[in-house]
Amino acid sequence: MAFNSETAAIRFGTGLSAKIAPPASVDDMLARLKGPDAMAERFPIGHFAQVEELMEKIRKLNKLRREDPDKRVEVQQRIGKLRNQAQRQQIEWLRAHMARSIFTEDGLRERLVRFWADHFTVIGKKSMWRFAVSTYVEDAIRPNITGNFAELLKTATFHPMMLMFLDQVNSVGPNSVVAARTPKRGINENLAREVLELHTLGVDGAYTQNDVFELAKLFAGLTYRRKGGFTYDAKMSEPGPETVLGKAYGGYIQDLFHVTDFLDDLAVHPDTARHLARKLVVHFISDDPDAALVAHVAAAYRDSGGDLMATYRAMLTHEAAWAMPAEKVKQPIDFVTSSMRALGVKEKKFAELKWKKIRTYVIAPMGLMGQMWENPTGPDGWAEEAEHWITPQGLAARIQWAMTVPTQLRSKLPEPVALAKTALGTRLSLELLQACDDSVDNADGVGLVFASPEFQRN
Amino acid sequence: MSISRRKFLKRAGLLGCSAAASPLLTPMSFAALPSDNRLVVIILRGGMDGLDVVQPYGDAALKGLRPTLKAGEAAGASDLDGFFALHKGLKDLMPLWDKGELGFAHAASTPYRDKRSHFDGQDLLEAGLGMDGLGRVRDGWLNRMLQVIPGVEPQTGFAIGREEMLVLTGGAPVSNWSPDTHMNLSDQSRRLLERIYHDDPLFNASVAEAIELAEVLDPKMVETDADGDDAAMMKQQMMASMRGGAHKRVAEFAANRLKENTRVAAFSINGWDTHNNQRQALRGGLSRLQDTILILKKQLGDVWGKTAVVAMTEFGRTARENGTRGTDHGTGGAMILAGGAIAGGKVFGEWPGLTEADLYQGRDLRPVMDVRDVSATVMQGLFGLDQSLLEGAIFPGLEMTGALRLTR
């Protein structure tokens, strides 16, 4: 079995739609992906600099509060307003993120953005950074998903959100200039460990605790400054050299290029190829992936020196990518957006939906489905396994959403059987068809379509 | 979450409310169990720093290892026994300590060593296996305990919260629910859902359990008319689910189930990965843990006397403070034991010391106790389980020391 457009839309895209044609071929999918990013233009998401500006305002207000205690109440109120503004902004960015999936002709791009954003998970831990994750994805991930993995790795690793999330910003070499001045300061291993364990080699990869520590020393100096953004501060860095994975880096001038050299080497490590290939295949095709397919994708990655387009092409041209039965389960964000896409939600209506309704119809229910938007429990991001999502409570939340939210999104609901044909094509089962006929009303019928296993699996 | 794991029985369709008899079932009779006791297992995800929570402030080496993370009275901690002090974030638990309803197992760890990954660490913690179990994780030890107890019903074991709990997942039928979840279905939709899920074992098992639980837990919600109130009700439920204090709702829910026919409950408390500015970073987790234990005690009433709460984490943290006033991933850590069934007022474990030579790999608190041994000993005390079952079916490969007396 090879390419078919239905699987292309469901497994590798954002779902079927009555109005938007599915991809015509693998070449078509890859050409769109390589082409201009139309959705980013049409549904803009802000940049990290906007959140930095907001942070700057808050810093000034805090300063004012310290200097003039009489203004405390006023300052408190103004900070509260800024926080609300940031929260609203985060919701608007979610709206744009969803709109891209609902209205795109280039679904693979949206799926890959989510895949890589999850691979390089960041969580905003405090203040306005809590609302800044979308801007990190927009600035660091989205523009780099069609180039070389090394670029993506470096951009994500050096982004302020990553440096803050994994506590790199204050880590200094034990023999650095800074540590000589303030002996209590030193190394923090967090980013070094996760770069090896999660972002490149994988936990089964060829590294040891000692590599983690050596890499943490090599990373010392990577930091984020209010003014100037990402910075390599030689005064924070360890004189070196540090030997990581058997090779020495640094040891003469202290400079960022030692770190980039290391990340370039790491990107083409065979364990990285294997780990990334497996993750891609698990995300798109099977929780229990075909070993030959993984090997095929890993080989393409290795042979191309980490070229992501070549890697995707290898996955998409392998027979198993299309032949595997649909056993994955959509994550809540994919479940919700593909439902809206099939439902034919109108662009204008979606754009005008009050932000509070985005909370009630999307953010809260996704939380109950197990996906708190931009807030996974750890740096490993969201789970892949179907069993993780289809728990009694998670499934109940999906059913509840399917039965109640669609009526709020369309003034007139589609007829369930027609919707089922749109959303599922040839995957529509006789049981579901019969159930649509037997449902008490359109709302319940539509609910059954979205609640069905064939819609939730991809 | 890493991905090479968890081939649950669910996939094969073996799991669900009507799970058939497990091959591990033994001929032990229900009457042989003092089954009126309760066990609550709390997974503290992120790697709790045992040295900061139960501070060995009597060990002279501690100060040198931790220049800014203070311990003992200097940190507002409560003295426990002259050697250990309890972090001030748990000070409201001191009355329990005084009554002997709170204890700790220190320098404890799972068999997990060296790579210090949260995710592999949590897998081994919940699977209850040795290092050779990595990559072969199928089910959780708490579920395997239920597999050896005859007469277990779906609500005997209850996993609570929005996340899957591996520790309670496996071949024995258990319940999974979140206090914020509601499912309002018409009779007809329920029947139709059962029909469309019939051939998909995972969806079929989950929906059967969801329908049953929604009926038991939220009876007035299950049956609604198809008239306009759905939207208002949904809005109300959704807003409620976003309110803070989710951990308190979980604790209350657990207590309510445990007062009924639930005997084993499991849930998570997150937020222990304190690499940076630990004094601040540890507050949230500790306050959630303290709230949880206090709510359980209060809500359980008389049942508290028959209850053991065991809180455990995937690993402890480095003995030395790191360069950013936090701690990195380590090995030995602490477990928290609470409840009227616990023989507390004691820090269990032979203190390994904190000098350079004492530390594991010159860096971490050396484990002197296996987390599984502590869990097994508590389960033996509560449920009278045979040692052979504990060392075989439940924790394969464990050798219980028999040295601990943890329950009344």
Query: Mean per-residue pLDDT for B21-48?
Result: 67
> For residue A443, what is the nearest residue in chain B, using CA coordinates?
B226
- Do residue A392 and residue B176 have CB atoms under 8 angstroms apart? yes
> For residue A440, what is the nearest residue in chain B, using CA coordinates?
B188
Task: Tell me the ipTM for this assembly.
Answer: 0.95
Query: How many domains are there within chain B?
Result: 1
**Domain containing B83 — which CATH number?**
3.40.720
Interface of B with A in 90-119 (CB under 8 A): 114-119
Q: Give a yes or no: residue B9 inside a domain.
A: no
Mutate to test the interface with B, among A178, A285, A395 (most CBs of B within 10 A): A395
Tell me the pLDDT tens digit for each residue of B162-203. 988 999 999 999 999 999 999 988 899 999 999 999 999 999
- Do residue A186 and residue B324 have CB atoms under 8 angstroms apart? yes
Q: How far apart are CA A267 and CA A298, in angstroms?
A: 12
Interface of A with B in 247-286 (CB under 8 A): 278-279, 282
Neighbours of A48 (CB within 10 A): 19
Contact B64, A183 (CB under 8 A): no
- Do residue B178 and residue A368 have CB atoms under 8 angstroms apart? yes
Share of chain B above pLDDT 90, in %: 81
Tell me the pLDDT tens digit for each residue of A171-224. 999 999 999 999 989 999 999 999 999 999 999 999 999 999 999 999 999 999
Residues of A within 8 A of B180 (CB-CB) are 368
Query: Mean per-residue pLDDT for B338-363?
Result: 97
Residue B45 has pLDDT above 80, yes or no: yes
Residue B218 has pLDDT above 80, yes or no: no
Residues of B within 8 A of A438 (CB-CB) are 188, 192
Helices (H), B261-362: 278-300
Q: For residue A322, which amino acid is it?
A: W
* Per-residue model confidence (pLDDT) at position A309: 98
Q: Give a yes or no: residue B185 inside a domain.
A: no
Confidence tier at B105 by pLDDT (50, 70, 90) = very high
Touching check for A205 and chain B: CB below 8 Å? no
* Residues across chain B: 408
* Per-residue model confidence (pLDDT) at position B16: 38
Contact B58, B83 (CB under 8 A): yes
What residues contact A99, with CB distance under 8 A and at least 6 apart? A39, A42, A43, A347, A350, A351
What residue numbers bound the domain in which B340 lies?
30-177+245-394
Q: How far apart are CA A180 and CA A238, in angstroms?
A: 11
- Do residue B182 and residue A364 have CB atoms under 8 angstroms apart? no
* Per-residue model confidence (pLDDT) at position B217: 83
Touching check for B203 and chain A: CB below 8 Å? yes
Q: Give a yes or no: residue B213 inside a domain.
A: no
Q: Give a yes or no: residue B199 inside a domain.
A: no
How far the first Cα of chain B sits from its last, in Å, is 39
Residues of A within 8 A of B197 (CB-CB) are 453
* Per-residue model confidence (pLDDT) at position B234: 83
Q: Give a yes or no: residue B160 inside a domain.
A: yes
Touching check for B8 and chain A: CB below 8 Å? yes
* Per-residue model confidence (pLDDT) at position A256: 97
* Per-residue model confidence (pLDDT) at position B184: 87
Contact A58, A127 (CB under 8 A): yes
Contact A358, A91 (CB under 8 A): yes
Share of chain B above pLDDT 70, in %: 89
Successive 10-residue mean pLDDT values, chain A, 458 residues:
92 98 98 98 97 95 91 92 95 98 98 98 94 98 98 98 97 97 94 98 97 98 95 96 97 93 98 98 96 98 98 97 95 98 97 96 97 95 96 97 95 96 97 95 96 97
Q: Cis peptide before A241, with omega less than 30 degrees from 0?
A: yes
Tell me the pLDDT tens digit for each residue of B226-275. 455 677 888 888 999 999 999 999 999 999 999 999 999 999 999 999 99
Interface of A with B in 206-245 (CB under 8 A): 208-209, 212
Touching check for B387 and chain A: CB below 8 Å? no
CA of A421 vs chain B CAs: smallest distance (Å): 15
Touching check for B181 and chain A: CB below 8 Å? yes
Q: Give a yes or no: residue B201 inside a domain.
A: no
Q: Give a yes or no: residue B188 inside a domain.
A: no
Residues of B within 8 A of A282 (CB-CB) are 3
Residue B152 has pLDDT above 50, yes or no: yes
Residues of A within 8 A of B139 (CB-CB) are none
Q: How far apart are CA B18 and CA A369, in angstroms?
A: 24
Encoded tokens for A99: 């709109």
- Do residue A440 and residue B189 have CB atoms under 8 angstroms apart? yes
Strands, E assignment, A242-313: 242-244, 247-249
- Do residue A387 and residue B202 have CB atoms under 8 angstroms apart? yes
What residues contact B144, with CB distance under 8 A and at least 6 apart? B24, B128, B170, B172, B393, B394
Query: Mean per-residue pLDDT for B14-40?
Result: 50
- Do residue A368 and residue B241 have CB atoms under 8 angstroms apart? yes
Touching check for B273 and chain A: CB below 8 Å? yes
Q: Give a yes or no: residue B206 inside a domain.
A: no
Residues of B within 8 A of A431 (CB-CB) are 195-196, 198-199
Contact A22, A119 (CB under 8 A): no
Confidence tier at B18 by pLDDT (50, 70, 90) = very low
* Per-residue model confidence (pLDDT) at position B233: 83
Q: Is the dihedral of CA A361, A366, A368, A373 positive or negative?
A: negative
* Per-residue model confidence (pLDDT) at position B5: 33
Query: Mean per-residue pLDDT for B72-93?
Result: 97
